[in-house]
Amino acid sequence: MTPDLQDLFEFLSFPSVSTDSKHKGDVLACAGWLQEKLDSMGLATEVHETPGHPIVIARNTHRPDKKTVLIYGHYDVQPADPLSLWETPPFSPEIRDGKIWARGATDNKGQMLAHSLGIGKTIAEKGDLPVNIILLFEGEEEIGSPNLAPFLEAHREELACDIIAISDTGMVAPNTGTLGYGLRGVACAEVKITGPARDLHSGLFGGAVANPATAAARLVASLHLPDGTVAIEGFYDDVRPLEAWEREMWAKLPGVSDEDYLKVTGSPATFGEPGFTSTERVSARPTAEVNGIGGGYQGEGSKTVIPAEAFVKFSLRLVPDQEPQTILAQLSAHLKKHCPPGVKLEIEIGHDGKPYASDPHSDFGKAAQRALKRVFPGEPMLIREGGSIPIVQAFRDILGTDTLLLGLALADAQIHSPNENFPIANFEAGIKLNQALLEELAK
């Protein structure tokens, strides 16, 4: 095993699950490992405590005649559940079929460590970097980065930079350089529907009182029209239309046809808002999704009850120029309007993040494309990402800086699912990409 892979295996062995309090010590230990690794490269490294998990900052010696590049990543990971579906233990990395299999392999430890190792190799080979570098690695991205924006505000001057680079997104196909120039935003909410004071016998009380589980199903059904269009009033009012060049370019992208989506997802057919391709719907159209629904008896066999309560979890993906708070207010109004009689509705607003869009044809965007061409064959692909990294818009709002999204993840990486994986080839390409990127950004 190469030293680079050995480093990645050590990094992946930490169960740095930010959402689970019993892993707080593991998250802290992971931050400590990261500090030691960056120190060993000759960078000046600091660990900043927050009300949650630490933020790790590393810098080289800055010179006023050089551009300053900030590279962001996160060392926290999603929970590994359900453990029974993993082929190998999630925090015992293994190589199979040219891939590294472990929780965090792609999201985001493999991608962020590739940048770090690229920096280390450049320093070892040339004694310095062509730019001033700031590495900012947090441990709370998977829980919405609650402490990062306040940290940016408090350290605005020390974190001033010309451009930001992030590899926490995807590439459209294997060995295809991909520059992301947009991200969907997100807005989350949970609804609790309550009826009787306790579960009731469905024979003695069915027909006399409303059933919260039935009410939950009716609320969910009200969210969309039969063709997949979101039925929330005003939902599409502020959506920025697709540019003609975007539709033309995306129609030619490899790896994102309807057949590709079906192959990756295992679904029997594609489905969504009419008038748009699957790629357009995922990249540049807003959606409303049900992430979880439950209530009543969940065990084996029958238990004839009217449940006392039910719940639904929602996430809405947003595009420029939608505002999360506006959309959440529209969702709340929709749910209240469509709440069936005989039950009570409690709406709990969750985390949110603004959508992001930048100009891929800017000077920095062109530099990133040159770097991608040095590492991957062919012309780089330009995309807007369907996922959300809420802190990207916060970087713009607080630091006034745009972000280059240089994805190394593949569609079958199984991020957030059992058997997450990252190709060794992508990890090694990420190291080379960092070296090429810093050189191109310095020009």
pLDDT of residue 60: 98
CB 408 within 8 A of CB 416: no
Q: Which of 26, 107, 140, 141 is catalytic?
A: 141
pLDDT for the residue numbered 141:
93
Q: Which of 76, 142, 385, 420 is catalytic?
A: 76
* pLDDT average, residue stretch 234-249: 95
Whether CATH 3.30.70.360 fits 185-239+286-352: yes
Using CA atoms, how far apart are residues 366 and 168, in angstroms rounded to an integer? 20
Q: Which CATH class is domain 3-183+355-442?
A: alpha beta
First to last CA, the chain: 35
The pLDDT-based confidence of 433 (bands split at 50, 70, 90) is very high
One-letter amino acid identity for 404? L
Q: What is the pLDDT of residue 384?
A: 93
Mean pLDDT, all residues of the chain: 96
How far apart CA 122 and CA 438 sit, in angstroms, is: 10
Residues of the chain with CATH 3.40.630.10: 3-183+355-442
Is 141 part of the annotated catalytic residue set?
Answer: yes
d(CA 365, CA 343): 53
Alpha-helical (H) ranges within 376-420 are: 391-394
Neighbouring C-alpha atoms within 13 Å toward the C-beta of 189: 24
| Whether residue 390 has pLDDT greater than 90 | no
Other beta carbons less than 10 A from residue 393's beta carbon = 20
Q: How confident is the model at residue 204 (pLDDT cuts 50, 70, 90)?
A: very high
Q: 285 falls in which pLDDT band (50, 70, 90)?
A: very high
The pLDDT-based confidence of 2 (bands split at 50, 70, 90) is very high
Look up residue 168 and give its two tokens. Answer: 């926490």
74-91 tens-digit pLDDT: 999 999 999 999 999 999
Judged on CB neighbours under 10 Å (0-12, 13-18, 19+), 40 is: exposed
* Residue of 118, 256, 280, 70 lying closest to 176 (CA atoms): 256
In tens, the pLDDT along 36-81 reads 999 999 999 999 999 999 999 999 999 999 999 999 999 999 999 9
Radius of gyration of the chain measured on its C-alpha atoms: 23
CATH 3.30.70.360 segments of the chain: 185-239+286-352
pLDDT reading at 278 higher than 90: yes
Residue 353: band (very low, low, confident or very high) from pLDDT cuts 50, 70, 90: confident
Would you place residue 253 in the very low, low, confident or very high pLDDT band (cuts 50, 70, 90)? confident
Please check whether residue 50 is in contact with residue 76, taking contact to mean a CB–CB distance below 8 angstroms: no
Q: What is the DSSP string of 211-238?
A: -HHHHHHHHHHTTB-TTS-B-STTTTTT
Rounded-to-integer distance, Cα 397 and Cα 401, Å: 8
CA distance 72 to 138: 8
Does position 144 have pLDDT exceeding 90, yes or no? no
Q: Which of 242, 240, 107, 179 has the alpha carbon at shortest distance from 403?
A: 179
